Amino acid sequence: MANQSWYNSFFDNAPYNDSWKPSKNYLCVGFLPGYALQSRELLELQTSILYQTSTTNRTLFKHGQPRIDLEEENFTPNSPITVNNTTSTFTIKENTQLFTNFSLGVTSILSTIPNGFWITIPPSELPLSAEYTETLPATPTPNHFVGFDVEIKTINSTDDETLFDPAGTEFRNNNAPGATRYAYSIVYNISEDPTSGFLKTNNNKRNQGEFFVPIAQYKNGSYYWAFDENTSIQGT
């Protein structure tokens, strides 16, 4: 079942006032000459597209599934995620994309987060590093999952200076604040410190009250993909 409420929980109130709903079956917006352009109409346009995309994605991909370009890489030997069994370390490359399909069973919680989209591991801020490597438990708990938590943030021009209007100084809107962005954000182990790591262990694939993206599951002495429990992750 497609998640039908996350967009309304954020955009349906002032100042956005997005009134799009799946039950109306609106497919597109027909802009008319002579009519003022409403910001709400622009929001409805993107919401309609996001809903269709999310619904389709969730029928094709599983929660925690990495995106793999079959022409350039595969799960072995060039996997974006590897496990070193000797050093008990877990490595994930920057810009790796993982699919989110949260199913928490708590409507009030689920309605606050976008569902059915890809989240990208941000570039590493460690010098000369293009990946994250973190230590796994020395004595892994059977059937536990390794992954990370995400949260939703609203980003404005104060948070991200690139959102100020880049129009030249000859224009009145030069450097004017831009629109708010609604974004996934990885939760680091120490508040907002990209060098502290973000991988966590969790006994549940989907915890109520948490937005957990599972990558691997430990069972039978090895780590397997969380989205495909019959395929082990490449080890070294």
Per-residue pLDDT of 40-76, as tens digits, reads 999 888 888 888 888 898 889 988 888 866 445 455 5
Report the SS3 class of residue 99. Answer: strand
Report the SS3 class of residue 21. Answer: coil
pLDDT above 80: residue 163: yes
**What is the C-alpha separation between 214 and 101, in angstroms, rounded?**
10
pLDDT of residue 14: 83
Size of the chain, expressed as the number of residues it contains: 236
pLDDT of residue 169: 93
Residue with the bigger pLDDT between 110 and 32: it is: 32
* pTM confidence score: 0.79
Residue with the bigger pLDDT between 194 and 11: it is: 11
Helices (H), the chain: 6-11, 39-60, 107-110
Of 116, 118, 111, the C-alpha closest to 59 is 116
pLDDT in tens, 74-92: 555 567 888 887 788 888 8
Mean pLDDT over all residues of the chain? 79
Q: Is the dihedral of CA 44, 45, 49, 52 positive or negative?
A: positive
**DSSP-derived pairing of the beta strands 212-219 and 222-225:** antiparallel
Burial bucket for residue 215 (CB in 10 Å: 0-12, 13-18, 19+)? buried
Burial bucket for residue 29 (CB in 10 Å: 0-12, 13-18, 19+)? middle
Band (106; pLDDT cuts 50, 70, 90): very low
Q: How far is CA 197 from the centre of its chain?
A: 17
pLDDT above 50: residue 5: no
pLDDT of residue 199: 81
pLDDT above 50: residue 4: no
pLDDT above 50: residue 36: yes
**What is the C-alpha separation between 236 and 220, in angstroms, rounded?**
17
pLDDT above 80: residue 138: no
Report the SS3 class of residue 84. Answer: strand
